[in-house]
């Protein structure tokens, strides 16, 4: 791909489409939205209005970090809308309802901001996997609108510009380098538009969000040196259900471990991929004493064997650390390797190091956490996120 030619063509296209108008751009600090802002700024200069929405679902100190990193490049305006998002989203449980509600609130807020600043256009960092997976029904990305046939101008009062919509993540990063996007942004962890909302699996409340935010900070700090494609923490309610397969699944798991093995289904469902479409399936938790002795190649085979026995399983998680038997929540560490985010394999991080990460999570989050697990499921059958 000729990236310099791509940039020039997009700059000319933006100028032609926008004309003399102003353009709003909501920036998360991720590489997609930031690259979009840099591209639009190159095209129209100070007629770009860059904003960052503090939705209440961001990571620790995220707004301050993004503003500081982009200082001197973009004059970011911080808009605190936590109360608005909490009003509509706290208490929701269903994954799809969360994403769709977030999308509606997100664009309703941006509609007001666009009107305030006189912007007739919204530029956003939608990339190919976003709309492909949404159109296929694998998951609803909050920033996919026109591809679903939504009449954006009628709904929100602005038109959408998506200069990166045909690119994949590795291509976006190359465009970003050529536009001079800071290296810190290029290396920044991919983060879903709804943020921690979709990593707070099941019912959303402020307590869960607070614990998840702390666990996320630990995971991002301690796994950084391994340079996975993406890594993060997820919080689930510590609930167990029985579906009748446990005995047969335990027999399968026992073939991979030399000591005692326990298996159980957690009470919360998580998203997966089957036949190219999204499914809501079960989370299977495994506890084994000698897990450090089992190579990742065998863990991969174990997952495939378990899923072939119960194809309702979308995520298999391996217990790394116990903390408080009556804790309300469990934390799951997810770390994957991918090029295009359409498929992914798990990161082969030494399990004894994951024990250190898990211990730190328990120290920081306290007795709220019953245990810490590592997700050993590739995509497919899992999705990268749990919701």
pLDDT in tens, the chain (387 residues): 899 999 999 999 999 999 999 999 999 888 999 999 999 999 999 999 999 999 999 999 999 999 999 999 999 999 999 999 999 999 999 998 998 899 899 999 999 999 999 999 999 988 887 756 555 444 555 454 555 445 677 778 888 999 999 999 889 999 999 999 999 999 888 888 899 999 999 999 999 999 999 999 999 999 999 999 999 999 999 999 999 989 999 999 999 987 789 999 999 999 998 887 788 999 999 999 877 778 999 999 999 999 999 999 999 999 999 999 999 999 999 999 998 788 999 999 999 999 999 999 999 999 999 999 999 999 999 999 999
pLDDT of 108 reads 93
Fold of 199-375: GMP Synthetase; Chain A, domain 3 (3.30.300)
8 A C-beta contact, residue 314 and residue 281: yes
Q: Are 68 and 95 in contact (CB under 8 A)?
A: no
On whether the CB atoms of residues 287 and 250 are closer than 8 A, the answer is no
For residue 101 the two structure tokens come to 């509600």
Per-residue pLDDT, 364: 98
> What residues contact residue 21 under an 8 Å CB cut-off, 6+ apart?
47, 119, 120, 121
Instruction: Show me where the domains of the chain are located.
Output: 3-186, 199-375
Instruction: Respond yes or no on whether the N-terminal peptide bond of residue 381 is cis (omega within 30° of 0).
Output: yes
- For residue 82, what are the CA distances in angstroms to 78, 109, 126? 12, 11, 23
Which has the closest alpha carbon to 337: 243, 250, 223, 177?
223
Query: What CATH number labels 3-186?
Result: 3.40.50.620
DSSP at 198: G
């Amino acid at each position: 791909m000729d990236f310099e030619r791509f940039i020039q063509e997009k700059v000319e296209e933006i100028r032609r489409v926008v004309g003399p108008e102003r353009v709003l751009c909501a920036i998360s600090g991720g590489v997609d939205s930031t690259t979009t802002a840099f591209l639009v700024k190159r095209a129209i200069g100070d007629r770009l209005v860059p904003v960052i929405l503090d939705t209440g679902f961001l990571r620790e100190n995220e707004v301050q970090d993004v503003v500081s990193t982009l200082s001197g490049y973009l004059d970011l305006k911080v808009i605190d809308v936590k109360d608005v998002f909490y009003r509509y989203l706290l208490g929701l449980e269903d994954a799809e309802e969360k994403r769709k509600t977030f999308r509606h609130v997100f664009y309703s807020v941006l509609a007001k901001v666009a009107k305030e600043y006189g912007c007739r256009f919204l530029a956003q960092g939608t990339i190919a996997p976003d709309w492909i997976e949404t159109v296929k029904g694998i998951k609803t990305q909050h920033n996919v609108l026109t591809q679903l046939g939504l009449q954006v101008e009628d709904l929100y009062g602005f038109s959408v510009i998506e200069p990166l919509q045909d690119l994949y993540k590795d291509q976006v990063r190359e465009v970003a380098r050529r536009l001079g996007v800071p290296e810190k942004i290029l290396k920044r962890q991919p983060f879903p538009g709804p943020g921690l909302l979709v990593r707070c699996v099941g019912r959303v409340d402020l307590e869960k969000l607070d614990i998840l935010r702390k666990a996320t900070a630990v995971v991002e700090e301690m796994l950084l040196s391994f340079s996975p494609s993406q890594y993060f923490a997820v919080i689930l309610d510590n609930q167990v259900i029985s579906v009748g397969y446990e005995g047969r699944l335990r027999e399968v798991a026992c073939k991979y471990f030399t000591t005692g093995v326990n298996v159980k289904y957690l009470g919360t469902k998580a998203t997966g991929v089957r036949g190219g479409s999204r499914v809501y399936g079960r989370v299977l938790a495994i506890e084994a004493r000698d897990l450090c002795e089992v190579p990742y190649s065998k863990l991969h085979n174990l997952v495939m064997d378990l899923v072939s026995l119960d194809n309702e399983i979308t995520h298999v998680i391996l217990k790394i650390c116990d903390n408080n038997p009556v804790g309300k929540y469990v934390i799951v560490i997810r770390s994957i390797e991918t090029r295009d985010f359409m498929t992914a394999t798990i990161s082969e991080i030494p399990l004894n190091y994951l024990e250190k990460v898990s211990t730190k999570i328990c120290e920081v989050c306290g007795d709220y956490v019953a245990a810490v697990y590592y997700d050993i499921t590739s995509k497919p059958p899992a999705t990268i996120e749990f919701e």
